[in-house]
């Protein structure tokens, strides 16, 4: 299957700092990528849809100024958690599909801890 690489896998940062998470499609071009957040023992909550060359579409209740998404190329989307606080600590995971209707391939996920 297609490969999606997410980096870093783990990050610890201080409150008030910003953290950037990268999501790359390694062997295909992805015009659309998705960012999810997962709390412990819970399901994946869709945060936003990242569109190459245009603004991201955020789900209701997700602060777009807090979670900045940039999809500058067909193989890279980034999620920046700005002015991070302990409540932003979570598992963040991205996905991309080769074509519409086919399975989504996921990155390895990033475990963010804000101290």
Partner 1 sequence: AQKITQTQPGMFVQEKEAVTLDCTYDTSDQSYGLFWYKQPSSGEMIFLIYQGSYDEQNATEGRYSLNFQKARKSANLVISASQLGDSAMYFCAMRNGGGFKTIFGAGTRLFVKA
Applying CB under 8 A, the residues found at the interface with partner 1 are: 1, 32, 34, 41-44, 46, 49, 91, 93, 95, 97, 100-106, 108-109, 111
The whole-angstrom separation of Cα 30 and Cα 27 is 10
* Closest CB to partner 1 among residues 82, 89: 89
The whole-angstrom separation of Cα 50 and Cα 4 is 14
* Closest CB to partner 1 among residues 44, 82: 44
| Least distance CB 15 / partner 1 (angstroms) | 24
| Least distance CB 89 / partner 1 (angstroms) | 14
Non-local (6+) Cβ contacts of 9 within 8 A are: 108, 109, 110, 111
* Closest CB to partner 1 among residues 7, 15: 7
Phi, psi (rounded to 5 degrees) for 46: -70, 125
Nearest to 25 by CA among 105, 79, 91, 111: 105
* Closest CB to partner 1 among residues 28, 82: 28
| Least distance CB 62 / partner 1 (angstroms) | 14
């Amino acid at each position: 299957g297609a490969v999606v690489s997410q980096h870093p896998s783990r990050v610890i940062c201080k409150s008030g700092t910003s953290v950037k998470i990268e999501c790359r499609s390694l062997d295909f071009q992805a015009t659309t990528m998705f960012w999810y957040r997962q709390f412990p023992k819970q399901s994946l909550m869709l945060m936003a849809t990242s569109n190459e060359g245009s603004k991201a579409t955020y789900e209701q209740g997700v602060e777009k100024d807090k979670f900045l998404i940039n999809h500058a190329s067909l193989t890279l989307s980034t999620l920046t958690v700005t002015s991070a606080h302990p409540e932003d600590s979570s598992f963040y995971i991205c996905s991309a599909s080769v074509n519409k209707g086919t399975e989504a391939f996921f990155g390895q996920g990033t475990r963010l801890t804000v101290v």
